[in-house]
Chain A
Amino acid sequence: MSVEYISLAILMAMIVMMILGFHLAFITGSIAIVSTLLVIGPNGLPLIAARMYTFVTTPALMAVPMFILMATFMERSGVAKDLFNSMYAWSGRMRGGVAIQTMGVAVVLAAITGIVGGEIVMLGLVALPQLLRLNYDKHLAVGTIAAGGALGTMIPPSIVLIMFAVTAGVSTGELFKATLMPGLMLASFYMLYIFITCKINPVKGPILPEEEQLSLLEKLYTMRKLFFPGLIGFSVLGSIYGGVASVTEAASVGCMATIVLVLVRKKMTKKNLNGALHDTLITCGKLFWLSMGATALIGIFNIMGGSAYLQGLVSGLPFSPMGIVIIMMLILALLGMFMDWIGILILTMPIFIPIIKALEFDPIWFGVLFCMNMQISFISPPFGPACFYLKSVAPKEVSLMDIFRGVLPFIGVQVIALALVMYFPQIALWFPAFIG
Chain B
Amino acid sequence: MEPFWEVSLKYIDQLSIWSGTFVSYFFLISVLITSYEVFVRYMFNAPTTWIFESSIALSAAAILLAGPATMQLRQHISITALYTIIPKKWIRRLIITRSVFALAVCLGFAWASWKFGMTAITTWETSGSGWNAPIPALIKPLVFVSSSLMALQAFRNLLQDIFNPSEFEADNL
Residues of A within 8 A of B (CB): 17-26, 29-30, 33, 36, 45-46, 48-50, 52-53, 56-57, 59, 61-62, 65-66, 69, 244-245, 248-249, 251-253, 255-256, 259, 274, 277-278, 280-282, 284-286, 288-290, 338-340, 342-343, 382-383
Would you give the shortest CB distance from B124 to chain A, in whole angstroms?
16
Would you give the shortest CB distance from A412 to chain B, in whole angstroms?
24
Secondary structure at the B interface, as helix, strand, loop or mixed, is helix
Query: Are A45 and B77 in touch, CB under 8 angstroms?
Result: no
Kindly list chain B residues whose C-beta atoms are within 8 Å of the C-beta of A342: 77
User: B113: CB under 8 A from chain A?
Assistant: yes
Q: Return 27 A-B CB contacts under 8 Å, by A number.
A: A20-B98, A21-B83, A26-B76, A26-B102, A29-B108, A30-B101, A46-B116, A48-B109, A61-B59, A62-B55, A62-B59, A69-B31, A253-B38, A256-B32, A259-B31, A274-B24, A277-B21, A278-B21, A280-B24, A280-B27, A281-B23, A281-B24, A282-B69, A284-B27, A284-B62, A285-B66, A285-B71
Query: Are B38 and A281 in touch, CB under 8 angstroms?
Result: no
Q: How many residues of B contact A (CB 8 A)?
A: 62
Kindly list chain B residues whose C-beta atoms are within 8 Å of the C-beta of A286: 70, 75-77
Query: Are B24 and A278 in touch, CB under 8 angstroms?
Result: yes
Kindly list chain B residues whose C-beta atoms are within 8 Å of the C-beta of A53: 60, 116, 139-140, 143
Q: Could you tell me the distance between the alpha carbons of A289 and B77 in the complex, rounded to whole angstroms?
A: 9
Query: Are B80 and A252 in touch, CB under 8 angstroms?
Result: no
Kindly list chain B residues whose C-beta atoms are within 8 Å of the C-beta of A48: 109, 112-113
Kindly list chain B residues whose C-beta atoms are within 8 Å of the C-beta of A59: 52, 56
Partner of A30, one of B71, B73, B104: B104
Q: Could you tell me the distance between the alpha carbons of A285 and B72 in the complex, rounded to whole angstroms?
A: 11
Query: Are B77 and A23 in touch, CB under 8 angstroms?
Result: yes
Query: Are B35 and A253 in touch, CB under 8 angstroms?
Result: yes
Query: Are A30 and B98 in touch, CB under 8 angstroms?
Result: no
Kindly list chain B residues whose C-beta atoms are within 8 Å of the C-beta of A29: 105, 108-109
User: B63: CB under 8 A from chain A?
Assistant: yes
With a 10 A CB-CB cut-off, give which of A25, A30, A45, A49 has the most chain B CB atoms.
Answer: A49
Would you give the shortest CB distance from B96 to chain A, in whole angstroms?
12
With a 10 A CB-CB cut-off, give which of B52, B66, B71, B119 has the most chain A CB atoms.
Answer: B66
Would you give the shortest CB distance from A384 to chain B, in whole angstroms?
12
Would you give the shortest CB distance from B102 to chain A, in whole angstroms?
5
Q: Could you tell me the distance between the alpha carbons of A288 and B112 in the complex, rounded to whole angstroms?
A: 18
Query: Are A21 and B79 in touch, CB under 8 angstroms?
Result: yes
